[in-house]
Amino acid sequence: MKIVIVGAGEVGFHIASRLSLENKDVVVVEKDADALRRVFENLDVQKVQGCGSSPAILEQAGIQEADILLAVTDSDEINLVASLFANMLSPATFKLARIRSEEYLQYQDALSKEPYGIDVMINPEDEAVKMVERLLQVPGAVDVGEFANGRIKLIGVRLEADCPVAGTKLVDLEKKTDNKNILVVAIIRNEKLIIPSGEDQLLTGDLIYFVSEEKELKEALKIFGKRAEPFKRVLLVGGGNLGLKLAKALEGYSIHAKLIEKDHNRCNKLAEVLDKVVVLQGDGSDQGLLQEENVQDMDVVATLTGDEETNILTSLLAKRMGAHKTVTRINKLSYFPLVSAIGLDHIVSSRLAAVNSILQYVRRGKVLSAMALKGEEAEALEAVALETSDIVGKPLEQIPFPKGALVVAIIREDEVIIPTGDSVILPQDRIIIFSTLQSIPQVEKALMVKLEYF
């Protein structure tokens, strides 16, 4: 598979990094010399310097032979023009464009037709809002993924000292949880990913990922010592596009929300379009203002300004003043490993949200959705089991899956199955597969053809 990526910013670089580890044929197009140098020094991919909206540059990148074009620069206009010329030069190439302007998104249907022929348009801020909504719906979670239209949750929680099952081996977990079928699929310990076996223990400080049905999620959270009651009071800091979109989304919930924005004119605009959210003018990093707004009574403080350092400092200040939880907007993916070390609860990144949205479109097989785990060493995929695959019709324990890949859920019509070794996948089942990055290429082949190579 050949993939041309236009733009080597955070999104482009991150996608290129993941795909290069999977031995895909990746070409990165970038006009900025410094950004391209970062690619050259860190990634084993082909590089073309120039603007991706140039047809000559696209030809130089080999667009005619490309299976996929990912136009993911910070400029909507460059992404649109790159898609236009890619469609003229190679109509069969699948084209995905990152678009942030609401004005352009209103014409999504027209842009999907000739002459643009854009197959998919993603809005990173919309995806980030969904990410925050999922976190607010699952108190205590560090990371939340949804599959099968929300019926299956992949939840990341950090185990605290009072966790009821701390010190428990996974083989004994079922006994300690009244035979509840909880499947722990990953443990991140000291920033290292562990694909656990029955003999692995759950330790205080671990970030664990487990699979649960939506209807059993509250009980599952209690098992790991997490509150299951929904958040009621939320304070948003920053009224930019992301803050506004999230505020609008919160108006659909039974949540008392306030939004702090520094700019007077922006406050007026926010007040015009928000009905239930209280808009306040001020500096969200001002300790006096936070005290006036009773930050200590807030279930969640979400810092969403365009300045990452301000967001980090404001979240830490709010936490110090008594806020129960914080959500911090961070777009520099290199900051992610520092999050738990400095005491931040949750992070939201429009760029990481964009990466997750893009992944499903670059996966072989009938993949419906994808989610990269924190730490970026693993991925969860939702796919349809094809009749031609050897994963169909035999017990899972007899299928030689690649090391580091697990089937963690099977959805068969209205039935959700958390599988055991005896479970059998049938044609057209929707399956959730958890896999390390190293095993992704083999998983992709498994979703397309018979597993003769295992």
Instruction: Name the one residue in this structure whose structure tokens are 């696209």.
Output: 58
The CATH T-level fold of domain 233-346 is Rossmann fold (3.40.50)
Q: Name the phi and psi angles at 430, rounded to 5.
A: -90, 130
What's the CA gap between 253 and 246, in Å, rounded? 11
More confident residue, 6 or 383: 6
With H, G, I as helix, E, B as strand and everything else as coil, classify residue 148: coil
* Second-level CATH architecture of 2-122: 3-Layer(aba) Sandwich (3.40)
Q: Name the phi and psi angles at 34, rounded to 5.
A: -65, -45
With 0.85 as the threshold, say if the pTM is over it. Answer: no
Tell me what pLDDT residue 28 has. 97
Q: How many CB atoms lie within 10 A of CB 38?
A: 15
Tens digit of each residue's pLDDT (9 = 90 or more) over 55-106: 999 999 999 999 999 999 999 999 999 999 999 999 999 999 999 898 999 9
What's the CA gap between 98 and 34, in Å, rounded? 22
Helix orientation angle between 264-273 and 241-250, rounded to the nearest 10 degrees: 30
**Tokens of residue 110, six digits:** 């027209």
Q: How far apart, in Å, are the Cα atoms of 8 and each of 21, 27, 99, 372, 376?
A: 16, 10, 16, 19, 18
What's the CA gap between 92 and 186, in Å, rounded? 38
**Tokens of residue 275, six digits:** 């009905």
Longest dimension (CA), the chain: 66
**So where are the chain's domains?**
2-122, 131-223, 233-346, 353-448
Tens digit of each residue's pLDDT (9 = 90 or more) over 218-268: 888 988 988 767 788 999 999 999 999 999 999 988 889 999 999 999 999
What's the CA gap between 75 and 156, in Å, rounded? 33
Backbone Cα Rg of the chain: 23
CB 29 within 8 A of CB 94: no
What's the CA gap between 143 and 230, in Å, rounded? 16
SS3 annotation, 207-242: EEEEEEEHHHHHHHHHHCCCCCCCCCEEEEECCCHH
Q: Is the dihedral of CA 436, 439, 441, 443 positive or negative?
A: negative
Is 50 exceeded by the pLDDT of residue 454?
Answer: no
Report, as an integer, the average pLDDT of 309-317. Answer: 94
Per-range mean pLDDT, top range of 102-106, 143-147, 273-277, 403-407: 273-277
Tell me what pLDDT residue 278 has. 96
CB 359 within 8 A of CB 370: yes
Instruction: Name the one residue in this structure whose structure tokens are 């939201």.
Output: 348
**Residue 375 — very low, low, confident or very high, per pLDDT cuts 50/70/90?**
low
Same fold? 2-122, 131-223: no
Instruction: Name the one residue in this structure whose structure tokens are 């964009």.
Output: 354
Helix orientation angle between 33-42 and 10-21, rounded to the nearest 10 degrees: 20
Answer CATH for 131-223 from 3.40.50.1000, 3.30.70.1450, 3.30.70.420, 1.10.150.20? 3.30.70.1450
List CB contacts of 30: < 8 A, sequence separation 6 or more. 6, 7, 8, 12, 36, 39, 47, 48, 49, 52
Tell me what pLDDT residue 180 has. 67
* Second-level CATH architecture of 353-448: 2-Layer Sandwich (3.30)
Phi-psi region of 318 (alpha: psi -120 to 50; beta: other; left: phi over 0): alpha
Q: How far apart are the first and last CA of the chain?
A: 21
What's the CA gap between 362 and 261, in Å, rounded? 38
**Residue 323 — very low, low, confident or very high, per pLDDT cuts 50/70/90?**
very high
What DSSP assignment string belongs to 53-78?
T-HHHHHHTTGGG-SEEEE-SS-HHH
List CB contacts of 202: < 8 A, sequence separation 6 or more. 159, 163, 165, 166, 167, 168, 170, 173, 184, 187, 208
The candidate with the shortest Cα–Cα distance to 101, out of 80, 123, 84, 131, is 123
Is 50 exceeded by the pLDDT of residue 27?
Answer: yes
User: What average pLDDT does the chain have?
Assistant: 89
Report, as an integer, the average pLDDT of 415-434. Answer: 90
What's the CA gap between 140 and 346, in Å, rounded? 10
